[in-house]
């Protein structure tokens, strides 16, 4: 059973009852409800801890006000102070037992090779041809500081552009998406007023991750949800000399290139159900590629990397990237020397980062797949 499946099918009310006592879930019905905070040391007088079943069939929770937090069963155990490897073991064990809270019988899906899934999706990607690139270049214009597209980059802390190869396309912001070998796989365009903000410019090439220039030179890999979030992280990495390569995935259900995932891997995804599933899937993929250390960076609530960089600059985003490292396992090697202390920020980074260490299965014979 994969961690992703365990998160999706975990009976959260029963898990709360197991770790916080059956009295703690009194008042919850088959579809959840709102109760007092059940977590030890976080008791309250008035109920503000909500538990519900999402439309996708996954149990979720949210605590408002003091000791705020939200997420799936994974994030609940993390809020109790558990670390990643123990959370994984508990969820896999717990979801393998019959639960008195079960709303419906969930049929166990056939197990799939995570690398086979990744290969299948990556096979859909191909760099754009010289002819296609030339046609797109003919429609692009050099971005000026007075352009509306430049204002979008300024708001995100990405102006001047640096290594982000951006331009204007019909007045819209557009930027190149390069693969790990440096070839252009596509351009993304931000269409104002469109149903989806970002669209590929050249159809038929898949949805590739954004890779930094000179990819493959660092000892650590950072996987980020969002191409411009990756560009924001890359600005911090280059400004401070951190030892990372970075890939920016275009969505929570997309896949990174496999090159470099045998290294120590750090993962960032937005909060919520889709973000938790992305974290679990990428962690499993990293282990399958040979990584032995995976660190999960805490979600930033309503913000993303671009918001933090735009509002607080390089130092603020660097602190968000390294939030919680003082409580990390001592055998984790940190990036580029001693880490700074972490002051209280006006950012939603209060959640503690936890380290997910150790192989979930015996993946020692699974090589990194080169494309």
Contact 293, 283 (CB under 8 A): no
Rounded Cα distance, 69 and 63, in Å: 5
Q: Quick one: pLDDT at residue 367?
A: 27
CA 291 to chain centre: 17
DSSP secondary structure letter of residue 215: T
Q: Please name the residue that has the structure tokens 């070839």.
A: 183
- What are the C-alpha distances in Å from 62 to residues 26, 49, 263? 17, 6, 34
Distance (Å, rounded) from C-alpha 315 to C-alpha 75? 27
Residue 199 pairs with which residues in a beta bridge? 189
Radius of gyration of the chain from Cα atoms? 21
Residue 3: predicted pLDDT: 82
Question: Residue 288: its pLDDT value, please?
Answer: 93
User: pLDDT tens, 209-250?
Assistant: 999 999 999 999 999 999 999 999 999 999 999 999 999 999
Which one, of 231, 198, 247, lies nearest residue 310 by Cα?
231
Tens-level pLDDT at each residue, the chain (371 residues): 478 888 999 999 999 999 999 888 988 988 899 999 999 888 888 898 999 998 888 999 998 888 888 899 999 998 898 888 889 889 999 988 443 344 444 444 455 689 999 999 999 999 999 999 999 999 999 999 999 999 999 999 999 999 999 999 999 999 999 999 999 999 999 987 655 578 999 999 999 999 999 999 999 999 999 999 999 999 999 999 999 999 999 999 999 999 999 999 999 998 888 898 999 999 999 999 999 899 989 888 889 999 999 999 999 999 999 986 654 332 233 333 333 332 322 222 223 233 333 333 332 322 222 22
Please give the class, per CATH, of domain 121-357. Answer: alpha beta
Confidence (pLDDT) at 189: 94
Strand (E) or helix (H) holding 74: helix 73-79
Q: What is the pLDDT of residues 50-91, one digit of tens each?
A: 999 988 889 999 988 888 888 999 999 988 988 888 898 899
Please tell me the CATH code under which domain 3-111 is placed. 3.90.580
Block residue for tokens 């996954």: 58
pLDDT at 195: 53
Q: Cα–Cα distance between 365 and 367 in angstroms, integer?
A: 6
Is pTM beyond 0.85? Reply is no
* Res 324: pLDDT: 61
User: What is d(CA 66, CA 54) in angstroms, rounded to the nearest whole number?
Assistant: 24
Domain ranges of the chain: 3-111, 121-357
């Amino acid at each position: 059973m994969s961690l992703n499946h365990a998160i999706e099918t975990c009976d959260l009310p029963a898990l709360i009852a197991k770790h916080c006592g059956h009295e703690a879930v009194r008042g919850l019905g088959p579809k959840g409800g709102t109760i007092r905070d059940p977590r030890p040391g976080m008791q309250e007088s008035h109920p503000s801890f909500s538990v519900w079943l999402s439309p996708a069939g996954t149990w979720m929770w949210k605590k408002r006000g003091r000791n705020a937090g939200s997420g799936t069963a994974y994030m609940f155990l993390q809020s109790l102070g558990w670390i990643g490897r123990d959370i994984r073991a508990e969820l896999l064990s717990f979801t393998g037992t019959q639960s008195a809270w079960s709303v419906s019988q969930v049929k166990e899906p056939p197990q799939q090779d995570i690398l086979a899934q990744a290969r299948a999706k990556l096979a859909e990607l191909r760099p754009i041809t010289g002819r296609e690139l030339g046609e797109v270049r003919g429609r692009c214009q050099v971005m000026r500081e007075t352009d509306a597209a430049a204002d979008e980059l300024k708001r995100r802390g990405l102006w001047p552009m640096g290594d982000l190869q951006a331009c204007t396309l019909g007045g819209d912001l557009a930027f190149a998406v390069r693969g790990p070998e440096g070839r252009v796989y596509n351009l993304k365009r931000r269409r104002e007023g469109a149903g989806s903000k970002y669209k590929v410019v050249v159809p038929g090439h898949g949805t590739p991750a954004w890779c930094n220039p000179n990819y493959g030179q660092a000892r650590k890999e950072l996987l980020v949800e969002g191409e411009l979030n990756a560009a924001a992280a890359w600005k911090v990495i280059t400004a401070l000399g951190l030892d990372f390569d970075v890939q920016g995935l275009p969505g929570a259900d997309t896949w990174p290139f496999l090159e470099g995932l045998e290294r120590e891997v750090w993962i960032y995804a937005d909060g919520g159900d889709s973000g938790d599933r992305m974290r679990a899937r990428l962690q499993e993929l990293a282990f399958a590629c040979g990584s032995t250390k995976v660190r999960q960076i805490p979600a930033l609530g309503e913000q993303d990397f671009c918001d933090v960089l735009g509002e607080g600059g390089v130092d603020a985003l660097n602190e968000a990237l390294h939030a919680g490292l003082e409580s990390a396992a001592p055998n984790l090697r940190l990036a580029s020397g001693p880490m700074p202390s972490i002051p209280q920020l006006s950012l939603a980074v209060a959640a503690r980062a936890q380290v997910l260490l150790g192989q979930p299965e015996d993946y020692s014979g699974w090589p990194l797949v080169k494309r």
